[in-house]
Structure 1
């Protein structure tokens, strides 16, 4: 979607940005206090026409529902969010496409934090879209995929050869498969059961001219990584918001070491990109120290410059590029 949506210019300067701000927060089920309602109200009071609100309502037409009814339903979901177990969020891309994800309302549910989208995932998805050449024609393994925002974004906006989603929690894997299919992507037939996913998949046939990446979903427990999994030998390994518990740090470093050693014989080896919200500086420092101990190098690289998703920009998020030290 462009920065100045067509039809909004008549509402005055800055209207396009206001529409985008409202749209991104509203359709990702943001809290009411995160919506720019005072600015929107002021804009509407000072406007002689309804161009601005019409454009907001028109964004719903892509869903096939009546705009007003759909808007009120979505608003109702926001207001009732504390009572809901699941909700559907829409993350809008610059192209005008949207990524629709089924997510849990509670941060922790069913014994896992993997059923919600975290800020570092939005941060990394923005970076991936700005740096799509990194993923072109590459095989990618994502550790701790959660419900899929990062991987779905890369599969829809970049051109990877292969994308392997992974997680260890069965309920997360179930929702992940559903989200992948509901965004028009095709899964390897060996990795999912259509009855389990309970989602209608349209246009299953993909022509050779429009062949997307080979997408698979695997269960991967970091404490019990199999040799078969290590031999996947991805070109790129990515992970977001996986450094939050000191007990997880050693397992994560061990997993990265196994994959990097296995891929060392490849001409360029593997590269790891890891985005983390720095919640506990001590835990984050411990992770870097453990990398150093096993000879894995890391460097901080610049994050995204374009604001696409509605997360808190004051949050400290760091993006690391991780390889064996002699590759840096």
Structure 2
């Protein structure tokens, strides 16, 4: 009996260790805030022995992983991450890990460009790697970074793959492309149209779509198209012929909400697709104004209920809401 209990405890420790390593890896490549990492498990491991084995494994799954060589997070972020690992190692008094200091030396003094890679790992471990701006606002747009609602909508899509399978999907305000790339890679749409209205965002979007090899990995026809909500024509909307329309984090500025409602209204009148708009509700007044404009345009809405299965790291403190629109 004692042997069986020891075996189960050992299996549990191995499972915990595997989960912790994945948590470190997922958080590192998405450049999550350092406070969100599972430091307590590392601290407990370092307190219990003088070995740096877990630190070595964390390093191999992050800064020394092949994905980091191909699509590295920002230099500044890697410096902060490695410095935190070293700080915790030295505080515990365990055997020094030379590879940690070697990795830090590689990034000390390196320039830090205005763009960096973020990689978001799918449930099977495959990465969606995007070149994003290091600033939330750059070149006059917020579309060069991935926002929380895009990650939330991607998780919802993974839980509702049938909504997209074999269908034509139009995404409004695609930004860096996270949600659409996840859907194309995992949900089997027949055709996917990424769209945005900002020239710099469109170029970055095209690059990210190519970077993730959608034409090679997906049977879907993939298009990146310019769409200005205030000038989109009936011909453009009709030509796309969407069965499903999605948008994430597009209700953030009162100045653009009116144009958004206008294009949504025209899309709904054109072919009655399923329409889903996901928002992180940071400004309740702006969001309430969006709902009032929908009602004034004759567009009804209902809140899509139910939790999503967590896949990607992002702050879950902000309230998320997905609306289904219809006429």
| TM-score bucket of the superposed structures, by smaller chain | 0.7 to 0.9
1:213 pairs with 2:212: no
Q: What does residue range 78-89 of structure 1 map to in structure 2 within 5 Å?
A: 83-89=112-118
Deviation at 1:155, TM superposition (A): 0.4
1:226 maps to what in 2? 233
Alpha-carbon distance in 2 for matches of 1:47, 1:262: 66
Q: Structure 1 residues 47 and 236 mapped into 2: Cα distance closer, same or farther (>3 Å)?
A: farther
Q: Within 2, Cα distance between the matches of 1:30 and 1:117? A: 12
Equivalent pair of 2:73/2:116 in contact (CA under 8 Å)? no
**Offset at residue 314 of structure 1 (A):** 1.1
Compare 307-316 and 16-25 and name the one that shifted more: 16-25
Provide the C-alpha distance between the structure 2 equivalents of 1:71 and 1:141, rounded to a whole number of angstroms: 30
Q: For the residues of structure 1 that align with 2:243 and 2:169, how far apart are their CA atoms? A: 6
| Superimposed CA distance per residue, residues 106-154 of structure 1 (whole angstroms, 9 cap, x where no aligned partner) | 0000000000000000111111011111100010000000010000000
Check whether the contact 2:185–2:218 (CA below 8 A) recurs between aligned residues. Answer: no
> For residue 136 of structure 2, what is the aligned residue in structure 1?
107
TM-score (normalised: structure 1): 0.79
Superposition CA RMSD, Å:
2.9
Of stretches 278-287 and 26-35 in structure 1, the one that deviates more from structure 2 is: 26-35
SS at match of 2:42: helix
Deviation, 1:40, is 2.0
> What residue in structure 1 maps to residue 120 of structure 2?
91
Structure 2 equivalent of residue 120 of structure 1: 149
**Does residue 161 of structure 2 align to residue 140 of structure 1?**
no
Give the one of 258, 267, 272 matched to 1:259: 267
Pick closer, same or farther for the CA change 1:100–1:280 going to 2, 3 Å: same
Alpha carbons of structure 1 residues 64 and 108: separation in structure 2 relative to 1, 3 Å = closer
| Larger fraction in helix | 2
Tell me if the contact between 1:11 and 1:51 (Cα under 8 Å) persists in the aligned partners: no
* Cα separation, partners in 2 of 1:304 and 1:250, compared to 1, 3 Å: same
Query: Larger C-alpha radius of gyration, 1 or 2?
Result: 2
The separation in 2 between residues aligned to 1:173 and 1:141, in whole angstroms, is 15
TM-score, normalising length: structure 2:
0.79
Q: Is 2:276 the partner of 1:296?
A: no
Report if aligned partners of 1:124, 1:304 keep a CA contact under 8 Å in 2: no
Note the 1:14-25 alignment, pairs <5 A: 14-25=16-27
Question: Once the two structures are superposed, what CA deviation does each residue of 1:30-89 show, in whole Å capped at 9, x if it has no partner?
Answer: 23333333432323443687664455445467737789xx89977238688995411101
Q: Is structure 2 residue 311 aligned with structure 1 residue 308?
A: yes
Contact 1:123–1:304 (CA under 8 A) maintained in structure 2 = no
Provide structure 2 residue ranges, at least 5 long, that are not aligned to the other structure.
1-9, 84-106
* Alpha-carbon contact 2:173-2:196 (below 8 Å) kept: yes
1:38–1:64 Cα change, 3 Å: closer
Question: Structure 1's 151 and 64: CA in aligned 2 closer, same or farther, altered over 3 A?
Answer: closer
Matched, 1:248 2:256: yes
Pairing partner for 2:79 from 76, 84, 91 = 76
- Conserved in 1, the CA contact under 8 Å of 2:168 and 2:243? yes
Cα gap change, 1:272 to 1:36, in 2 (>3 Å): same
Aligned partner of 1:199 in structure 2 is none
Matches within 5 A, 1:43-82: 43-46=45-48, 52-53=54-55, 55-59=57-61, 63=66, 75-76=78-79
Q: 1:158 to 1:71 in 2, by over 3 A?
A: closer
Say if 1:128 and 1:294 are closer, same or farther in 2 by CA, change over 3 A: same
1:233 and 1:31 mapped to 2: Cα distance? 40
How many residues are matched? Answer: 288
